[in-house]
Amino acid sequence: MTADSASARRFERALASLRGLSVGDALGSQFFVPANYPLLKQRALPPGPWQWTDDTEMACSVLAVLAEHGRIDQDALARSFAEHHDFDRGYGPAVNRLLRLVREGGDWRELSSALFKGQGSWGNGSAMRIAPLGAWYADDPEQATHQAEISSYPTHQHREAVVGAMAVAAAASLAAAP
């Protein structure tokens, strides 16, 4: 096996994971649309198209950074998050503000660590975007957890948020293992 073929397989696994994440995300987002409640109560699907959320948007950045660097580069990831930020995708207020400030030239290290009175965000955002990274590292669950930890810090620095991302990455790594 060549390095190129291994990299291509990693990308294919991660892309398959991203596809699954995006469909689940778009379906799940329908549960936050009040007009859909009657259909959902009947266990019927609302008509499409369904909009994906910040979870998919940020997962796309995770995969793009992995494809470009072969690992998580925090600066590239923060930059990608900020460049692709779409206010209407359902980001939490703290991350909306953080990404706007990063886009305006702010340092993600200072901004992210200052969230919530210096505790860092402990929301689920870093866990929700991380499955493609786990699939990328299906051959190395330990590296999946390490890279997930690194990937969390640009937006979520509270230890519970970081560990949540690590757990999802480990599970995705094991699920995608050849």
pLDDT digits (tens, 9 = 90+) for 109-151: 999 999 998 888 989 999 999 999 999 999 999 999 999 999 9
- Residue 61 located in a structural domain: yes
- Residue 48 located in a structural domain: no
Over range 38-51, report the average pLDDT.
Answer: 93
| Domain hosting residue 131, numbered range | 3-42+53-176
Task: Give the chain's domain count.
Answer: 1
pLDDT digits (tens, 9 = 90+) for 65-101: 999 999 999 999 999 999 999 999 999 999 999 999 9
Residues 78, 55: Cα–Cα separation, whole Å: 14
Q: What share of the chain is helix, strand, coil (3-state, %, to 5)?
A: 70, 0, 30
- Residue 47 located in a structural domain: no
Contact 40, 157 (CB under 8 A): no
Is the model's pTM score more than 0.95?
Answer: no
CATH number reported for the structural domain that contains residue 151 in this entry: 1.10.4080.10
Q: Place 15 in a pLDDT band, splitting at 50, 70 and 90.
A: very high
**Which residue positions form the known binding site for Mg(2+)?**
53-55
**Which residue positions form the known binding site?**
53-55
pLDDT above 90: percentage of residues in the chain? 89
